[in-house]
Amino acid sequence: MPALMMQPEAIREQARTAFAEAGWPSRRSEAFRFTPLDSLAAQEWPLSTPGSQPEPALLDGPRLVFDGGQLVQAASDALPPGWQLKPLQEDPVGLAWLAARIPADHPAQLALASAPAGWVLELAAGASLETCLNLDFIGGQPDRAAPSLLLVRAGAGSRAVLAEQHRSKAGLAQPVIGLDLAVGACLDHAKYQQESAATRHLGLSVAELAENCDLASFVLSSGAALARCETQLTLGGPNAFARLSALYLGKGSQHHDITTRLAHHAPDCRSEQLIKGVLDDAAKGVFQGQIQVAQNAQRTDGQQMSRVLMLSREAESNTKPELEIFADDVACSHGATIGELEADQLFYLMARGIPKEAARSLLVTAFIQEALAQIRNPQLAGWLAGVVDSRGQG
Amino acid sequence: MAALLEIRDLQARVGETDILHGINLTVGAGEVHAIMGPNGSGKSTLSYVLAGRDGYEITGGDILLNGVSLQEMEADERARAGLFLAMQYPVELPGVTVMSFLRAAVNARRRAQGEAEVDQLGFVKLVRAAAGDLGISDEMLKRSVNTGFSGGEKKRFEILQMALLQPSMAVLDETDSGLDVDALKIVSDGVNKLRERKRGMLVITHYQRLLSHIVPDRVHILSGGKIVRSGDKELALEVEENGYAGIDDAA
């Protein structure tokens, strides 16, 4: 039975069955080859309970607080006019929309099955909001999972700015976020993954853009012991534009995975992706980027570039770009570079009296700047530039 | 006259190849010396050995700046001690803006001398004035270091750095390469402005033409990793006339 016809409990039950069959993906699963999760199967993952200390907002604008994955309305601000919030349980179409976009063997099925409540955030057609709406994910407990379901529906012709911030203290964060953009909607979106070193982050975002939609999305991933920030996006109507860019900063024994699947299902759409990573110490980085161009998606323009800067010989990087093109009139390209700091650039800076560490830091900052320049919305750009600056990366 | 730069029996290799075979050279304060030589004579190796580039290993002899050995110093320490190398091939640094680069360099020098960091606004004015003299536009100052600069712009930018850093000893490696006549004049004027009583300069070049703009006090001919002849500015003209072959024979 197609998911669209199913009632919430049936959808949840189906997800439970799907996860029970597939389990945590191992190295043998192509999509998780570089980020196997089967070690998570060694234990049960009971749900986190909310009730952690309130955290001050780090970003201007109204905020929704998710504690252990669950929305805490008492800690959240009133939504600005234009936005509306309702339980996903009361919106079977919304739940089915999310369910239909999660692959059967994907561990997000567990989040779909077990998240205690989900929410639909709806922006009225034609609404135009310059103020950023801040989704703040806090809390989390050791050996507990914090699944979260949220569907953002942007009405036709609406404009919005959305910031996600993930700063759990512990456990397994599993945010599943849907972005459903109706005709002509325009969304600026940024996600900052800064979970604690005791946290694992498995984020899946699924997005669908209708005709003439415009999405500029940016992921900054710097926290967690292991983080997978995955986006599956479909350009479903003609003349849509999507930018999916990301920056990951790995240190210590961190594992950062940026996975994108970008499907061009309509003609005359454009997509851009610049994914940059800086890996120090024994950090591991993974970028998997798939671009699919359906047969009818003529005149597709899809560009993808991955660049990794290795600051240590112990660091490891895996990059897997994939193009699947079934249309004949397309301009698609992908490229990937992995390199160290250039010796001649370091020498040039040092020959001007700049100490080695400062010279390295200047070059790393320069590398990072190109990624941050991808953030289109000034408030989001200023926020993440400030974050990177105060981290003193390099 | 006090020796500013003293190169004593300098031997050096790059990788497994010995390139410099015992160079002796003393530059006094206020003097401009030229080093001329054919391709492969060791000119660029000498400049990199002086500046302390990784991979250029001193195997014998020593380099003294103001009586202090540079041998154990990293490139950045040498620069802060007052040595400046204007590079033959300035490197592009995409994402590092000209202003932040210049400020980092000048502040590194000032900190080493126990001075306060530059005042931001005053520094911008200072840079603009110095840049104007070298025909460097405000637009260029807004770009990333050397990124998208023409060959001539890169060389002018090297001289701008030298003007701002005020080194006690400047080494100019093939500063004339890739310059047309007009650019050569601008760069030479910039260098000549920086000639002064306390500063020494070592001008490394293949051709005499630079030396008719920057007139040296002494000229040395480098060949096979050794200085084979030294003389006054007339020696450069002799090279121009007869080529290096004749000079080699004479040595």
The residue ranking higher by pLDDT, A56 or A175, is A175
At B248 the pLDDT is: 58
pTM of the complete model: 0.90
Q: Is a pLDDT exceeding 80 seen at residue B91?
A: yes
Average pLDDT, chain A: 95
Q: Which residue of A has its CA nearest to B144?
A: A366
Q: Are residues B87 and A348, on separate chains, in Cβ contact within 8 Å? A: yes
Q: Could you give the percent of chain A with pLDDT greater than 90?
A: 92
Chain B hits for A365, CB-CB cut-off 8 Å, are 95-96
Q: List residues bridging with B35 in a β-sheet.
A: B204, B220
Proportion of chain B above pLDDT 70, given as a percent: 98
Q: What ipTM did this prediction achieve? A: 0.96
**For chains A and B, what is the number of CB pairs under 8 angstroms?**
79
Across the beta sheet with A330-339, the strand order is A70-71, A63-67, A128-138, A159-166, A186-193, A214-221, A241-250, A270-279, A300-310, A330-339
Tell which residue, A245, A252, A244, has the closest CA to residue A223: A252
Report pLDDT digits (tens) over A160-194: 999 999 999 999 999 999 999 999 999 999 999 99
CB distance B53–A351 less than 8 Å? Answer: yes
* Interchain contact A359–B (C-beta under 8 A): yes
Interchain proximity B101–A359, CB inside 8 Å? no
Name the token pair of B208: 């005499």
Of B199, B137, B133, B149, nearest to B172 by C-alpha is B199
Does B91 sit within 8 Å of A344, measured CB to CB? yes
Nearest to B53 among A347, A358, A363 (CB): A347
Lowest mean pLDDT segment, chosen from A383-387, A388-392, B24-28, B91-95: A388-392
Put simply, whether B123 touches A (Cβ < 8 Å) is no
In a domain, A392, yes or no: no
Structure tokens at A96: 């089915």
Residue at token pair 């051709």: B207
Q: Assign domain B3-90+153-250 to its CATH architecture.
A: 3-Layer(aba) Sandwich (3.40)
* pLDDT score recorded for residue A53: 87
pLDDT for A2 equals: 52
Note the pLDDT of residue A392: 63
pLDDT at residue A261 is higher than 80: yes
Please give the distance of CA B153 from its chain centroid, rounded to a whole number.
16
The tokens of A73 are what?
A: 């309305």
Give residue A51's domain range: 3-341
Contacts of B101 in chain A (CB under 8 A): 349, 352, 362
Residue-level pLDDT at B251: 43
Tens-place pLDDT, residues A310-369: 999 999 999 999 999 999 999 999 999 999 999 999 999 999 999 999 999 999 999 999
Confidence at A117, pLDDT banded by 50, 70, 90? confident
Question: Could you tell me the two tokens for A208?
Answer: 């669908």
Q: What tokens appear for B120 in the block?
A: 């931001």
Q: Do A352 and B108 touch (CB under 8 A)?
A: yes
Position A5 scores a pLDDT of 61
Subunit contact B90:A355, Cβ cutoff 8 A: no
Q: What is the pLDDT of residue A389?
A: 85
Q: Is B104 within 8 Å of A354 when comparing Cβ atoms?
A: yes
C-beta of residue A354 within 8 angstroms of C-beta of residue B105: yes
Residue indicated by tokens 């190796």: B45
Closest partner residue to B108 (CB to CB) among A343, A355, A367 is A355
In the predicted model, is pLDDT for residue B249 greater than 80?
Answer: no
- As for how many domains chain A has, the answer is 1
Q: Which residue of B has its CA nearest to A369?
A: B95
CB B70 within 8 A of CB B83: yes
Q: Give dist(CA A162, CA A217) in Å, integer.
A: 9
pLDDT score recorded for residue A55? 87
Is A80 inside any structural domain? yes
pLDDT at A137: 97
Q: Under a CB-based contact definition with an 8 Å cutoff, are residues A380 and A161 in contact? A: yes
Closest residue to B85, CB basis, from A351, A356, A365: A351
The yes-or-no verdict on residue B65 having pLDDT over 80 is: yes
Q: Measured between CB atoms, does A366 come within 8 Å of chain B?
A: yes
Direct distance between the N- and C-terminal alpha carbons of chain A, in angstroms, rounded to an integer = 53
What is the rounded average pLDDT of the residues B209-232?
95
CB of B171 within 8 Å of a chain A CB? The answer is no
Residues B180, B186, B188: CA angle, nearest 5 degrees: 95
Say which DSSP state B69 is in.
E
For chain A, percent of residues with pLDDT exceeding 70: 98
Q: Which three-class secondary structure string do you get for A320-388?
A: EEEEEECCCCEEEEEEEEEECCCHHHHHHHHCCCCCHHHHHHHHHHHHHHHHHCCCCCHHHHHHHHHHH
> Is pLDDT of A51 > 90?
no
The whole-angstrom distance between B231's CA and the closest CA on chain A is 30
Confidence of residue A278 (pLDDT cuts 50, 70, 90): very high
**With a CB-CB cutoff of 8 Å, which residues 213-242 of chain B face chain A?**
none
Beta strands in B66-107 (DSSP E): 68-69, 83-86, 93-97
Partner B contacted by A326 (CB < 8 A): no
A199 exposure class (CB count in 10 Å sphere: 0-12, 13-18, 19+): buried
Give the best residue of A348, A370, A374 to mutate against chain B (max B CB count within 10 A): A348
Q: CB-based contact (8 Å) between B117 and chain A? A: no
pLDDT digits (tens, 9 = 90+) for B162-219: 999 999 999 999 998 888 888 899 999 999 999 999 999 999 998 889 999 999 999 9
Torsion sign (Cα): A67, A71, A74, A76: positive
More confident residue, B56 or A50: B56
B51 reaches A (C-beta below 8 A): yes
pLDDT over 70 at B250, yes or no: no
Contact A366 B93 (CB under 8 A): yes
CA angle A224, A225, A231 (to 5 degrees): 60
Does residue A376 register a pLDDT over 60? yes
Q: What is the CB neighbour count within 10 angstroms for residue B230?
A: 14
Residues 6+ apart with CB under 8 A from A218: A189, A190, A191, A243, A245, A246, A247, A374, A375, A380, A384
